[in-house]
Each structure stands twice: as structure tokens, then as C-alpha cells.
Structure 1
Amino acid sequence: MTARSDRRTPVPRHGEYEYRTVSIARDVSRHDAARMLAEEAEYGRWELATSSLYVGGERRVMLRRRIIRARNTLGIFD
């Protein structure tokens, strides 16, 4: 399965989500692409934001996940 991703540079937008773009080559079947995206959703907590199909057959999918900010509940570092 050939998929390219800029996994290392999630871009925070709108203050609540981080985004990741995944490019799926034209020779990857829909079944394999769906399986790959389902694994990302299940294990990485990503959800589908947008999906585009280009003339050459390449698919680009933008995934997003909510940014969870941890708060200090102990009051030690206030």
C-alpha cells in the first residue's frame, strides 16, 4: 500500500483541531484506502475532514483530530 503523509507537521487551525494531509496513490484500491483510513481513525483518533479525487487518480484526504489541552489540577505550578 502506497500512501504519503506529512505526519510530522500537524498544523493547528481554528484553535481546536490539528490537521494532517494523506496522499493516496492511484494504484491503491478503494478497499485498501478505506482500511488504512479506518486504522487511522481507530488508533490515531483521526476523523475525515475532506476528501478529493484528482485527474491522475490520486486521492488526497485531510484528517483532523481534536487538540486536548491538559490543565494543571494540582495547583503546584500556578
Structure 2
Amino acid sequence: MVEYTYFVLSLPRGTTRDTARQILTEHAERGGWEIDRLRLYPDGSRRIQLRRKVIRQVRTF
């Protein structure tokens, strides 16, 4: 079974779509994060849940 690490990112309502894209691109390229859930609220704020796989190394003898 695959395990994930989660990270919640909240962007205020004044954040433009282009700025949000740049922030998410940085997290994806440098941290290996992918979007799990994105919620856009009526006031314009965004709540983004990012995830990435947890890679466990298996000891070999």
C-alpha cells in the first residue's frame, strides 16, 4: 500500500490565478508535491492539499 505525506497550503483571496500557479509549480518541481485537493471558497481564498509519496527503503543483506 502506498503511503503519502500531506501538506496544506492556504492562499488569501487577493492571490491571482497566475501567482497561485507559480507557487504550485515551485512546490511540484522542487519538492515533488502533487495536488490532492483544491478548494476555492466563495470569498476567493484557496485551500490546497498537496501530497507526495513516502519512499521506504528495504534493507537487503
Q: Which residue of 1 aligns with 2:15?
A: 28
More helix by share: 2
Number of residue-to-residue matches in the alignment? 61
TM-score by length of 2: 0.89
Q: Percent identity?
A: 41
Q: What TM-score comes out, normalization by structure 1 length?
A: 0.71
**Counterparts of 2:34 and 2:2, CA distance in 1:** 17
Q: CA deviation at 1:45?
A: 0.1
CA distance in 2, matches of 1:55, 1:29: 15
**Which structure is larger by alpha-carbon Rg, 1 or 2?**
1
Separation in 2, partners of 1:39, 1:56? 25
For residues 1-43 of structure 1, the C-alpha deviation after alignment (integer angstroms, 9 at most, x for no partner) is xxxxxxxxxxxxx751111110011111110110110010000
Q: Which runs of 5+ in 2 are unaligned?
A: none
Alpha-carbon RMSD across the aligned residues, in angstroms, is: 1.4
Unaligned runs of 5+ in 1: 1-13
